[in-house]
Amino acid sequence: MDSIISLRDISFKYLDELILDSISLEIKRGDYVGIIGPNGGGKTTLIKIMLGLLKPLSGNVRIFTKELQEFKDWSKIGYVPQRSGLFKSGIFPLTVFEVLEMAQQQGRKNKIEETLKIVEMREHVNKVFFNLSAGQQQRILIARALVNQPELLILDEPTVGIDSKAQENFYELLCHLNTQLKITLVLVSHDIDVIAKEVTTLASINQKLIYYGPPRDFIKDDYLETLYGKNRRHLLHEHGH
């Protein structure tokens, strides 16, 4: 199976604080990887290293089999950061079309309508982004990340501030992207319950890589205690039995 991202012994410091300590993992084509861990555990830092936004203190990053510094084809990767302040404020009353147009690479065929259809938001193309619900906004941000037809989509805490019904629909959409459109997904989340049900591979990070493998084995063995401490069994509501 093709390797899409390969991390070898990645460490990262912020000022004098060690954020990531010798992390190695491989993401293969078609994977749906969930990254979990406590606040400050290094989840967002790790994906920013994958995206070339941060430079590791040590270690090696390969993307689509190329060394990170040699990799140039960033249109292969879509990124949905934590809820964007730019789009949340009403300062820029952009339409949905304009939000996607800004992200579309020059010279590429216009895929805006087609991409909005994938996320079931086509009828909102001329609406002001700021006037949409949180769940609808998140779908548009996914469409924005998909408009250049990436092979890998990375999402950082995408369901924060979205109600439970919209979250359910949102995970259905991600499943569709992964299984039907064959997009490799990397998803950072706090919601261990949901993630354990959705993803094919679970990565738990707290400075070090605590676990990397199938969600069922993570739940079966008591990795939660290692990750969050003895009193955190309640983090899993449905998987404890």
Q: What is the pLDDT of residues 77-110, one digit of tens each?
A: 999 988 655 555 555 688 999 999 988 877 666 7
Contact predicate 57/23, CB 8 Å: no
Q: Supply the pLDDT for residue 159.
A: 83
Report strand pairing: 3-14 vs 58-63: antiparallel
Q: Supply the pLDDT for residue 226.
A: 63
Whose tokens are 């967002």? That residue is: 44
Contact predicate 203/212, CB 8 Å: yes
Q: Which fold has domain 3-235?
A: Rossmann fold (3.40.50)
pLDDT at 236 over 60: no
Spatial distance between the Cα atoms of 89 and 147, rounded to a whole number of angstroms: 23
Q: What is the pLDDT of residues 192-227, one digit of tens each?
A: 878 888 899 999 999 999 999 998 888 766 666 666
Q: What is the pLDDT of residues 145-195, one digit of tens each?
A: 999 899 999 999 888 888 888 888 889 999 999 999 999 999 998 888 788
Q: What percent of the chain has pLDDT over 70?
A: 85
Query: pTM of the full predicted structure?
Result: 0.87
Contact predicate 97/54, CB 8 Å: no
Q: Is 167 exposed, middle or buried (0-12, 13-18, 19+ CB in 10 A)?
A: middle
- Domain spans of the chain, in order of start: 3-235
Residue type, 18: L
Query: Where on the phi/psi map is residue 132: left (φ > 0), alpha (ψ -120 to 50), or beta?
Result: beta
Confidence grade of residue 238 (pLDDT, cut at 50, 70, 90): very low
Q: What is the pLDDT of residues 33-64, one digit of tens each?
A: 999 988 888 999 999 999 999 999 999 999 99
